Structure 1
Amino acid sequence: MKVALAFGALLVAIFTVVLSTGAINTAVDSGRQAEAARALNASCIASLGPVSSGPAGSGALDAARLSGEQRGIVALIISIGKQRQLPPLAWQVAIQAGMTESGLRSLNYGDRDSLGIFQMRPSMGWGTPAQILDPVYAINLFFERLTGVPNWKEQRPGDSAQDVERSAFPDRYHRWEAMAAHLIGNVGAVQDPTGCGQGVGLLLPAPTAAAGSAIQFALSQKGKPYLWGAATNHQDNFDCSSLMLQAYRSAGIILPRVSRDQFRAGALLPVTQAQPGDLLFWAYDPSNPATIHHVAMYLGDLQIVEAQQTGVPVHVRPVRWNEPELVPQAVRPGV
């Protein structure tokens, strides 16, 4: 046990030194981008990635289909968000919720007594019908409810929308992630709407300073129990993807909740070229990402840290590139 603890401490020290020497220029750039994101009170939404490449640009087409009325609601959401001194992430949550619930329109009808942009219900204490149909009232109330959600700044915007709306279909808010990010950049004049900085096209950046922070967090959880479906708002126990989510969240990068979605939350590279902080995945069919069932963090020197299964605490173990079910691509989150 003492040897294992010493090894873990040595890994942390090595990664901290390597990432702090400035030997990797990209790490310096990433640090500046992280500072800019913190200035906006935002985190990197890894499922969208950098603003100049990949899925971050895919919201432009959906945004172009919006009518004048819909864009007017977007502009009002952003304006009220600014007046309330809320960060762009709050605007994004409201846009995704409004697009999902009403198509960003102030509807005078809905399921049962639901009304307005966010389909608020008078019978559930949201206000009178006249109030709910007033877009200014509805948007302000949505922001009030949102800011009362614990950790809303540290999770995916669609998850925060669900926390406010309490829908029977919680995953549907994610559909409008890219469009909302495009709108807060385009309408809200935010240079880095996803919080992930600028992309580098097809070139894969070197490991970032965020990777060092994520590694330190993951290693500090060694020995804690595995629990399938573990909550992501405490560190009492973990499953594989909650450990990765919390590790990168500590570094300002928001990952999706489950492993198969985390596979799409960064740049792909051959698994044999993985570097410290990259995510490795296991699937029932390694050629089909839809069958991914496990994720771990690569530490370098053929070592990983993972929350593996029931009865096995968070631990460090060796990895082999020819392991059964190992997916041939690794992921570098948020780039």
Structure 2
Amino acid sequence: MRIWIIVGVALGLVCALVLVVVTVTTVVSTQQQALSLFRMGSCNAAIGPWADATGDAAAGEGKVSQLSVDQRGIAAQIIKIGKDRQLPPLAWQIAIQAGMQESSLTNVTHGDAAGPDSRGIFQMRFTMGWGTEAQLEDPNYSINKFYDVLTKIPNWQQLRPGDAAQTVERSAFPDAYDKWEAMAAALIKTVGDVADPSGCGQAVQAAAMVLPANQAAAKAIAYAQLQLGKPYIWGGNGPVGYDCSGLVQQAYLTAGIQLPRVAADQYHAGAMLPVDQAQPGDLVFLATDKSNPATIHHVAMYLGNHQIIEAQDFGIPIHIRPFSFTEAEVVPQAVRPGV
């Protein structure tokens, strides 16, 4: 009897050990998969974002509430065709932003002074090979045509939605599509019934939160801190003084990462993530219209613990200050250089 008790206890311990190993392996695997998705860009923080703290989700829902029944019908048709073609929510978002900018999501059957030959939801030109006039006035045709062109663009899924829309439309106003980003995201969430269109769900956000500051970020932070007290100089690249983008550019250059010179370009120079998931070394941005990256006017380096280091403005030395993700002009996406 005693030997069977011993065997039973031993088997129990083995089973418990196996369960622990399986559990740990599953957790690690989940974190690795999430981190892999984050690094591959499957987490597209430019869609949305969904953090209520930014106010953008509410702004998008507000714009959706102002749409007419016909406009919502066009959006629903864009989403349905996208689903039928097994395209990801990002494609629907791009098409909705393009349609909203070009026609306010209406089926235009006449041209105007700027484009007398433009027709349909996307104001495609029948004189430029997009289709016949009758075809372009058929929403089913024009939506499919838009998707045909979009999906032939190399790496379209790595582009910001407004940039992808511009690549299809080739508008004279390339930044105009970005202002419909939050509204389009709200539509694919509600009309498209997609709870997390961005792919930045809890698992991916958790991976971003536990992702440690890499050696490059630590070096960049150390360099930036050595510049504390130096003057703000417009166009300054050091060592005497810096402007905002010059400071972060030189900081990351010492860590072996080359960033563009201008803040608005630095916004595109790394992996995007929701700003409230920022880690030390990530770049945060301010813009006059936080839904439009073309209006970015300031960049700073996040230090953690709700603090940033920045070259703020004339007459203000480089300093560390408290920072809130809910500040009025904070862009909803942070950028992680080198990822």
TM-score range, shorter chain: 0.5 to 0.7
| C-alpha contact 1:63 1:179 (8 A) present in aligned 2 | yes
The residue identity in structure 2 corresponding to 1:70 is Q
Deviation of the 1:215 alpha carbon: 5.8
Pair 1:69–1:329, CA change in 2 (3 A): same
1:120 and 2:143 aligned: no
Q: Does residue 171 of structure 2 align to residue 167 of structure 1?
A: yes
| Cα offset, 1:59, TM superposition | 1.1
Q: Helix, strand or coil for the counterpart of 2:269?
A: helix
Residue of structure 2 equivalent to 1:43: 43
Partner of 2:229: none
- Amino acid aligned to 2:323: Q
From the CA coordinates, give the structure whose radius of gyration is larger: 2
Structure-1 separation of matches of 2:149 and 2:215: 30
* Matched AA of 2:275: G
Pairing of 1:259-298 with structure 2 (within 5 A): 266-267=275-276, 275-279=279-283, 292-296=297-301
Aligned to 1:248: 271
In structure 2, the CA distance between the partners of 1:31 and 1:239, relative to structure 1 (3 Å rule), is farther
Q: Partner residue of 2:323?
A: 329
- 1:142 maps to 146
Match of 1:239 in 2: 261
Whether the aligned pair in 1 keeps the contact of 2:267 and 2:285 (CA below 8 Å) is no
Contact 2:308–2:323 (CA under 8 A) maintained in structure 1: no
Does structure 1 conserve the Cα–Cα contact (< 8 Å) formed by 2:64 and 2:187?
yes
Partner Cα distance (1:244, 1:97) in 2: 22
Cα deviation for residue 77 of structure 1 reads 0.8
1:223 alignment counterpart? none
1:176–1:275 Cα change, 3 Å = closer
Name 1:75's counterpart in structure 2. 76
Instruction: Report SS of the residue matched to 2:119.
Output: coil
Task: Give runs of aligned pairs for residues 20-59 of structure 1, distance below 5 A.
Answer: 42-46=42-46, 48-50=48-50, 52-53=52-53, 54-59=55-60
The residue aligned with 2:92 is: 91
CA distance in 1, matches of 2:118, 2:215: 42
Structure 1 contact 280–329 (Cα < 8 Å) conserved: no
Deviation at 1:116, TM superposition (A): 0.2
On the 8 A contact 1:214/1:248 being kept in 2, the answer is no
Secondary structure, in 3 states, of the residue corresponding to 2:67?
A: coil
Separation in structure 2 between the aligned mates of residue 84 and residue 71 of structure 1, nearest angstrom: 20
Deviations 1:177-236 (A, max 9, x none): 11110110111111112333369xxxx9996246758968x98xxxxxx999xxxxxx98
Deviation for aligned residue 1:239: 3.0
1:80 Cα deviation from its structure 2 partner = 1.1
Partner of 2:156: 152
Secondary structure at 1:188 match in 2: coil
More off after superposition, 120-129 vs 28-37: 28-37
Amino acid across the alignment from 2:104: G
Give the CA deviation at 1:108. Answer: 0.4
CA distance in 2, matches of 1:205, 1:147: 31
Q: How far off is 1:275 after superposition?
A: 4.6
Corresponding position: 1:189 with 2:193: yes
SS of alignment partner, residue 134 of structure 2: helix
Summarize deviations over 1:25-77 as a string: whole Å, max 9, x none: 9x9998776678899x8433247323555312321121122222211211111
Letter in 2 for 1:175: K
Residue 328 of structure 1 deviates from its aligned partner by 4.7
Provide the C-alpha distance between the structure 2 equivalents of 1:323 and 1:28, rounded to a whole number of angstroms: 46
- The amino acid of 2:260's aligned partner reads F
Instruction: After TM superposition, give the deviation of residue 246 of structure 1 in Å.
Output: 3.1
Aligned-residue Cα RMSD (Å) equals 4.8
Q: Which moved more, 1:124-133 or 1:235-244?
A: 235-244
- Hey, what's the Cα distance between the residues in 2 that align with 1:30 and 1:60? 32
* Alignment-mate amino acid for residue 43 of structure 1: C
Cα distance, 1:43–1:168 mapped onto 2, change above 3 Å: same
> Share of identical aligned residues, percent?
43
> What is the rounded CA distance, in whole Å, between the counterparts of 1:214 and 1:195 in structure 2?
27
> Which residue does the alignment assign to 1:132?
136
Q: Alpha-carbon deviation of 1:146?
A: 1.0
**Superposition deviation, residue 169 in structure 1:** 1.3
The Cα offsets for residues 286-308 of structure 1, whole Å up to 9 and x where unpaired, read as: xxxx88444446599x999x9x9
Letter matched to residue 44 of structure 1 = N
Kindly indicate whether the alpha-carbon contact (under 8 Å) linking 2:98 and 2:165 is maintained by their aligned counterparts in 1: yes
- AA of the residue aligned to 1:247: G
